[in-house]
Amino acid sequence: MSFVMHLDDLKDFLDEKANKYNQPFFIETDPIQVPKSFSEKEDIEIAGFLTATIAWGSRPAIIKNATKLMSLMEFQPHEFILNSSAEDRKKLEKFVHRTFNGLDCIYFIRSLQNIYINHDGLQSVFEKGFQNENSGKSALEYFYSAFFELEGERTRKHVSNVKKGASGKRLNMFSQVI
Protein backbone atom coordinates (compact mmCIF):
# COMPACT_ATOMS: atom_id res chain seq x y z
CA MET A 1 0.00 0.00 0.00
CA SER A 2 1.40 3.38 -0.91
CA PHE A 3 0.61 6.69 0.66
CA VAL A 4 0.16 9.71 -1.57
CA MET A 5 -0.14 13.17 -0.11
CA HIS A 6 -1.42 16.04 -2.20
CA LEU A 7 0.65 19.22 -2.26
CA ASP A 8 -1.94 21.20 -0.28
CA ASP A 9 -2.02 18.49 2.40
CA LEU A 10 1.77 18.39 2.48
CA LYS A 11 1.94 22.14 2.90
CA ASP A 12 -0.59 22.00 5.75
CA PHE A 13 1.36 19.18 7.41
CA LEU A 14 4.69 21.01 7.12
CA ASP A 15 3.16 24.30 8.33
CA GLU A 16 1.74 22.48 11.36
CA LYS A 17 5.16 21.00 12.19
CA ALA A 18 6.91 24.35 11.68
CA ASN A 19 4.43 26.03 14.02
CA LYS A 20 5.01 23.33 16.61
CA TYR A 21 8.82 23.14 16.49
CA ASN A 22 9.96 26.54 15.25
CA GLN A 23 9.47 28.06 18.69
CA PRO A 24 12.04 29.42 21.16
CA PHE A 25 10.83 27.06 23.91
CA PHE A 26 11.60 24.05 21.70
CA ILE A 27 15.33 24.86 21.89
CA GLU A 28 15.27 24.26 25.66
CA THR A 29 14.73 20.53 25.07
CA ASP A 30 16.55 20.10 21.76
CA PRO A 31 20.26 19.38 21.10
CA ILE A 32 20.38 22.48 18.87
CA GLN A 33 20.78 24.40 22.12
CA VAL A 34 24.44 23.31 22.26
CA PRO A 35 25.64 25.07 19.09
CA LYS A 36 23.20 27.92 19.75
CA SER A 37 25.00 28.62 23.03
CA PHE A 38 27.99 29.98 21.06
CA SER A 39 28.36 33.25 19.19
CA GLU A 40 31.47 32.71 17.03
CA LYS A 41 30.84 31.05 13.65
CA GLU A 42 33.56 28.43 14.06
CA ASP A 43 32.45 27.49 17.57
CA ILE A 44 28.86 27.14 16.33
CA GLU A 45 29.79 24.91 13.40
CA ILE A 46 32.12 22.70 15.47
CA ALA A 47 29.56 22.35 18.27
CA GLY A 48 26.86 21.67 15.66
CA PHE A 49 28.93 19.01 13.91
CA LEU A 50 29.93 17.21 17.11
CA THR A 51 26.40 17.40 18.52
CA ALA A 52 24.89 16.07 15.28
CA THR A 53 27.48 13.28 15.28
CA ILE A 54 26.26 11.97 18.63
CA ALA A 55 22.58 12.67 17.89
CA TRP A 56 21.18 9.26 18.51
CA GLY A 57 19.42 8.17 21.65
CA SER A 58 17.37 10.33 23.95
CA ARG A 59 17.51 14.09 23.55
CA PRO A 60 18.44 14.67 27.22
CA ALA A 61 21.38 12.25 26.85
CA ILE A 62 22.52 13.92 23.63
CA ILE A 63 22.36 17.37 25.26
CA LYS A 64 24.17 16.14 28.37
CA ASN A 65 26.99 14.49 26.42
CA ALA A 66 27.36 17.26 23.84
CA THR A 67 27.61 19.75 26.71
CA LYS A 68 30.14 17.51 28.43
CA LEU A 69 32.20 17.42 25.24
CA MET A 70 32.11 21.21 24.99
CA SER A 71 33.20 21.35 28.64
CA LEU A 72 36.17 19.08 27.91
CA MET A 73 37.16 21.66 25.31
CA GLU A 74 36.65 24.42 27.91
CA PHE A 75 33.68 25.76 25.91
CA GLN A 76 36.12 27.01 23.27
CA PRO A 77 35.86 24.30 20.61
CA HIS A 78 37.53 26.26 17.81
CA GLU A 79 40.45 27.28 20.03
CA PHE A 80 40.78 23.68 21.24
CA ILE A 81 40.64 22.29 17.70
CA LEU A 82 43.34 24.66 16.46
CA ASN A 83 45.74 24.53 19.38
CA SER A 84 45.32 21.25 21.22
CA SER A 85 48.27 18.94 21.42
CA ALA A 86 48.17 15.17 21.74
CA GLU A 87 48.61 15.70 25.48
CA ASP A 88 45.67 18.13 25.62
CA ARG A 89 43.46 15.64 23.77
CA LYS A 90 44.12 12.87 26.30
CA LYS A 91 41.30 14.20 28.46
CA LEU A 92 38.91 13.17 25.68
CA GLU A 93 39.87 9.49 26.02
CA LYS A 94 37.14 8.85 28.59
CA PHE A 95 34.35 10.51 26.58
CA VAL A 96 31.59 8.07 25.58
CA HIS A 97 28.22 8.45 23.94
CA ARG A 98 26.77 5.08 23.06
CA THR A 99 29.30 3.60 20.54
CA PHE A 100 31.16 6.88 20.04
CA ASN A 101 34.15 6.59 22.35
CA GLY A 102 37.25 8.54 23.30
CA LEU A 103 39.31 7.21 20.39
CA ASP A 104 36.61 8.37 17.99
CA CYS A 105 36.44 11.72 19.74
CA ILE A 106 40.19 12.25 19.47
CA TYR A 107 40.11 11.32 15.79
CA PHE A 108 37.31 13.84 15.22
CA ILE A 109 39.32 16.58 16.92
CA ARG A 110 42.45 15.74 14.91
CA SER A 111 40.48 15.62 11.68
CA LEU A 112 38.75 18.92 12.43
CA GLN A 113 42.17 20.40 13.18
CA ASN A 114 43.31 19.24 9.73
CA ILE A 115 40.19 20.74 8.14
CA TYR A 116 40.62 24.12 9.84
CA ILE A 117 44.35 24.32 9.15
CA ASN A 118 44.51 22.84 5.64
CA HIS A 119 41.01 23.41 4.21
CA ASP A 120 40.00 26.77 5.71
CA GLY A 121 37.29 25.28 7.95
CA LEU A 122 34.11 23.25 7.78
CA GLN A 123 32.09 25.77 5.82
CA SER A 124 34.77 25.94 3.14
CA VAL A 125 34.88 22.15 2.82
CA PHE A 126 31.13 21.96 2.30
CA GLU A 127 31.13 24.92 -0.11
CA LYS A 128 33.95 23.44 -2.20
CA GLY A 129 32.20 20.08 -2.30
CA PHE A 130 28.94 21.70 -3.31
CA GLN A 131 30.66 23.56 -6.14
CA ASN A 132 31.96 20.26 -7.56
CA GLU A 133 28.50 19.32 -8.87
CA ASN A 134 26.19 21.95 -7.38
CA SER A 135 24.55 19.38 -5.14
CA GLY A 136 24.25 18.61 -1.46
CA LYS A 137 25.36 15.07 -2.18
CA SER A 138 28.63 16.23 -3.70
CA ALA A 139 29.20 18.47 -0.64
CA LEU A 140 28.73 15.48 1.68
CA GLU A 141 30.99 13.29 -0.46
CA TYR A 142 33.74 15.89 -0.48
CA PHE A 143 33.40 16.42 3.27
CA TYR A 144 33.74 12.66 3.85
CA SER A 145 36.95 12.50 1.82
CA ALA A 146 38.44 15.55 3.58
CA PHE A 147 37.40 14.29 7.00
CA PHE A 148 39.15 10.96 6.47
CA GLU A 149 42.42 12.27 5.06
CA LEU A 150 43.95 11.03 8.32
CA GLU A 151 44.04 7.34 9.20
CA GLY A 152 41.02 6.31 11.29
CA GLU A 153 39.26 3.16 10.12
CA ARG A 154 37.29 2.53 13.34
CA THR A 155 35.84 6.03 13.31
CA ARG A 156 34.40 5.78 9.77
CA LYS A 157 31.24 4.20 11.15
CA HIS A 158 30.31 7.53 12.75
CA VAL A 159 30.24 9.56 9.52
CA SER A 160 27.83 8.68 6.72
CA ASN A 161 29.32 7.85 3.36
CA VAL A 162 26.66 9.03 0.92
CA LYS A 163 28.79 7.77 -1.97
CA LYS A 164 27.95 4.28 -0.71
CA GLY A 165 24.23 5.05 -0.40
CA ALA A 166 24.02 6.25 3.22
CA SER A 167 21.31 8.82 3.89
CA GLY A 168 23.60 11.19 5.78
CA LYS A 169 20.87 12.11 8.27
CA ARG A 170 23.19 13.50 10.96
CA LEU A 171 25.36 15.30 8.39
CA ASN A 172 22.24 16.87 6.92
CA MET A 173 21.12 17.92 10.41
CA PHE A 174 24.52 19.51 10.87
CA SER A 175 24.42 21.27 7.51
CA GLN A 176 21.35 23.14 8.73
CA VAL A 177 23.57 24.74 11.41
CA ILE A 178 26.17 26.19 9.01
Model confidence at 73: pLDDT above 90:
yes
Q: What is the mean pLDDT of the chain?
A: 87
**Predicted pLDDT of residue 49:** 93
- In this structure, are residues 31 and 59 in contact, taking their beta carbons and an 8 Å threshold? yes
**Predicted pLDDT of residue 175:** 60
Distance of CA 70 to the CA centre of its chain: 13
Q: Which of 40-49, 112-121, 132-141 has the lowest mean pLDDT?
A: 132-141
**Predicted pLDDT of residue 155:** 74
Distance CA 109, CA 142 (A): 18
- Residue boundaries of the structural domains of the chain: 39-175
5-23 tens-digit pLDDT: 788 888 888 889 888 888 8
Using 50, 70 and 90 to split pLDDT, how confident is the model at 166?
Answer: low
**Predicted pLDDT of residue 111:** 95
Model confidence at 162: pLDDT above 80:
no
DSSP-based three-state secondary structure for 97 = strand
pTM: 0.83
Model confidence at 165: pLDDT above 70:
no
Q: Which of 11-15, 22-26, 102-106 has the lowest mean pLDDT?
A: 22-26
Model confidence at 1: pLDDT above 60:
no
Model confidence at 173: pLDDT above 70:
no
Of 91, 113, 93, residue with least CA distance to 101: 93
**Predicted pLDDT of residue 97:** 93
Which DSSP letter does residue 157 get?
G
